Structures are given as C-alpha cells and as structure tokens.
Copies of this chain bind each other. A is one copy, B any other.
C-alpha cells in the first residue's frame, strides 16, 4: 500500500459502501453493531487514518482551536497555555499556538494564519497596540473568539472577556499587608496606562484610602529586572516604605533578589506580596506570598466556556471575573 488508505479502501474491505464507513467514523447510531465491528476491523487492517482536512471541507470545524499568547515565555502564560491545551486535548480538540511577543503586527499575522488553517475558535490573550487588524479579521471569520486575561478590544459582545478578579486581588493583598503591620506600602511594576495595571492598582488604592494611608506607586516593566532595580531605589529614596505589593510575581521575585543583594531581610522588616501565584513563587527563598489566580482552573473554565459556545451555541457573558485568593507565605510574615 503506497498511498494512504481512504474510506473507499475500508469500505471495499468491509464489504459496505463508503457512506457506511463515514457513519461509523462519526459514531452515528444508525449503523448495526455487527456492521460497525466489521468496519472497525477493516480500518485496523488497512491502517486507515482519518483525514480531517477532507472532513473539514464538507462540515464546518476540524477540531482545531487557536491559542494566541502575548508572552509565552512568562511562566504565568505558560501555565495557562499548558492547562488550556490539555483540557482541549481531553475534549478531542487540537491546539495551534502562537506567541506574539507583545507585537501587534506579529499578532495580526498569526491570527490570519490560524484562520486560514480553519480554527473553529480562537482564545487570545492579546498584545496591546494596533490590534484592530487582527480583531477585524476574527470578526470576519465569524468564529467564536474569547479575550482572556487582558481586554484590548471593546466589543465584548463579539469578543467576550474573561479574567481573574484583579481589583479584588489588589484589595485582599493590601488588606493583608496592613494586617501584618505594614506602615507604608508601595505598588511596584506594571506599565502605566494599561487596564491590568489599573485594575490591580485600583484595589490597592481603594484599600489604602479606606485605611487613611497614602499610596506610593512605582510603575514599570512587569519583569524581574525592574523589581530588582526597584528594591535598591526603595531603600534609598523611600526608607519609610516597609512593604511592596507587586504587579506580578516576576516583579516580586526581582525585589526578593534585590533585597538579598542589599542584605535587606524580607518578611518581618520588609513585606513583599506578588500577583498570579506562579509555580515558582512557592519555591523561592523566602517563599513568596501571592494573589492566587488559579491559572489551571481558569484555563479549564475557559475551555468549558469556549466549547459550550462552539458545540451548543451558548454565548458567554460579555465579561466574566473569576475569584482570586491570597496564599500567604514567608515573604510577608513576621
């Protein structure tokens, strides 16, 4: 057998028509059990493999979901992507993934490629910037699209948005720091002007205001390097600051490294809280207190929502917020 066997080969071998083979393939109930077994045997004997490209041409979907991520090297997004892919796989879908590296131009390109490949739906944690092209293309494609983790397109009717409850995370983290006796709490990292930064900061500012305290905001790149740099700056310029709530765990881990370098002890003297609770947070020294977004559970929820939309036509709400919690570890404890 030089070429790959088709349903016709299987049909001949099983002594039925190719329609019957097709019905067996799709588990149609109308085929007699005996015939079904016969066809399955013929499939095994001929080494038949299903050709989804052919199937896709007639019916609609190919069981392919596109996953577009703004920064796949960031552990938070990695954990999200991995959990999503596995949940999709368990439901019989394959995942085609692309990293946009925060580049709107690349994003438009990969979204276009995915649409050409006939993805049935698209899950996107979008890059910021000139995103209209990509979203218009998704709009035209007429497929379900979910914005996750970040909302950059305002059409949440067409592109429903799901993310953890960032403001609440900011609140509980700030409250915790106050309870631990923090006098002056800084908010560190996150680019100014972005929604996610604004939301995470909002809970912080609100809680401080209630407590009658002044905020101290040092926005910047959400990276380890920025956190490390800020650790030195805080010690020098804000000696009264005795706690930091960070935009994300990377910044917080950077601060911990910076404190090590400066010989400043973390915990009782200087309290640090991160955001996201990436796996590494628990494995650092000292272990990092962090706002837990349950990225694995979040990913599974997104998959459930997407497949309900795809398979049952149940469109998700325009905006959905998932609950967050605080995991208290040594970095914020006396």
Contacts and interface: CB of A to CB of B under 8 A. Distances in A.
Interface of A: 4, 47, 49-54, 56-57, 62-64, 72-73, 75, 78-79, 81-82, 85-86, 89, 92, 94-99, 101, 106, 109-110, 112-118, 140-142, 224, 228, 253-254, 256-257, 260-261, 279-280, 283-286
Given A86-B101, A257-B283, 4 more contacts: A49-B141, A57-B57, A64-B96, A64-B117
6 contacts: A53-B53, A85-B99, A89-B106, A94-B117, A95-B97, A257-B285
Contacts of A117: 52-53, 62-64, 94
Contacts of A56: 53
Contacts of A114: 94
A195 to B, nearest CB: 25
A49 B140 CA distance: 10
A72 B283 CA distance: 18
Contacts of A73: 78-79, 82, 279
Nearest to A92: B113
Contacts of A54: 53, 57
Contacts of A283: 224, 228, 253-254, 257
A85 B89 CA distance: 19
A112 B280 CA distance: 33
A98 B95 contact: yes
A288 B179 CA distance: 35
Given A52-B118, A62-B53, A75-B75, A96 B94 contact: yes
Contacts of A110: 89, 94
Contact of A97 (B49, B85, B260): B85
A21 to B, nearest CB: 15
Contacts of A62: 53, 117
Contact of A53 (B47, B118, B261, B284): B118
A140 B47 contact: yes
A95 B94 contact: no
Nearest to A101: B86
A90 to B, nearest CB: 9
Contact of A261 (B78, B98, B261, B285): B285
Among A112, A117, A261: residue with most chain B CB under 10 A: A117
